[in-house]
Structure 1
């Protein structure tokens, strides 16, 4: 069955201007929330990420939920700056509590990012994200959240890279349909339960997600089969093309 964090994105949040937010006051250990699925999926996810992540740079995690993935991956990939985020203030407290518990120098305080917002508050990061990671989100949020996620990836991935340079990529994990068909009976039952909670939720179709990614300037996904009938998807950001010289040569011809 596809896994999810039921306490994340449990309702549609109103549009607002997001801002970087380190929880205040400093949360204690009791603020830490736990999602049982994290302990099961973090190592398979890390095994895929190991071959995709760069040696250095910043990873922006969207919809970080409890913060357990952020804390674990920051310790697994110490050469990278791991920047978690979530629009839910209580989950940001959980993320911050996990951050304080692991004391990883490369794990940043969480940002308040709503992926559906037209602008994301990334100025405090200091550099554009090399990679974005989003785990178990788009099936427990309205379709507008997936649209906002890919639009943001298209805007921000590789924003500091020059023409012809690779622009990093977006990593997704969760359950998906293929060609409109569920990959397992358990995923079909999971989809029904999601839609019963909120008709705007549901297991998404890989084809629809891929088409949206390509429209945002990302490449078709590399697909990794994962445990519990989940998929990991890697959408590389296409290199920027500098057409100035080509246009100049065309004018001179």
Structure 2
């Protein structure tokens, strides 16, 4: 048992952890030193289409939707405070990510555990929520944990709603992201990656709010045939889609002059 505890408290055990990519992302962002014109933050759909984009023009930091906008806020905060240099930031997210409130089945494994060292930088409301909802420490630090989330968000119920709203949590941290960018002179915009057509009805039910970047965000949504999706969200052959639609994907990242 002691050997098991020791093993899962060493970073090498992350190679057995489904959330390894998020741990690596947080570690790399904290190191800083990235110099590029535009950074991309976002979810796993963004990662599908832009993962290989890492050069002087664009640098992709997209990984997983479970850490929602609070996690992306922490990533942005770390980047600007740890000697990374960039002029623009594009938040590339599937709109359905924005409905949850850090209450997904994988919130603990993909957010709380990997971001443990940065959680103090959230608002007290989220700090207290995390403290009262999730384990305060992990005996097996780098093991994927079967934590049962109480009352997790359920995307299958969304289609039954007359109107869909960005959650209060995600809305607050979206404004924080916008505020950081404004204070640092960083151009900011928000776009959706291409999505399967089965999402269209729900996405068109969103309440847009008054923020100009949200209106532009929902205008950016494009769709492909649902038969080409492997799970209703992700494309089953992203490389093929990229080859056929490279101009469309490049255009999503462009800012208006």
Asked if these proteins are the same fold (TM beyond 0.5), I'd say no
Could you state the TM-score of these two structures normalised by the residue count of structure 2?
0.36
The TM-score, its normalising length taken from structure 1, stands at 0.37
| Between structures 1 and 2, the one with greater strand share | 1
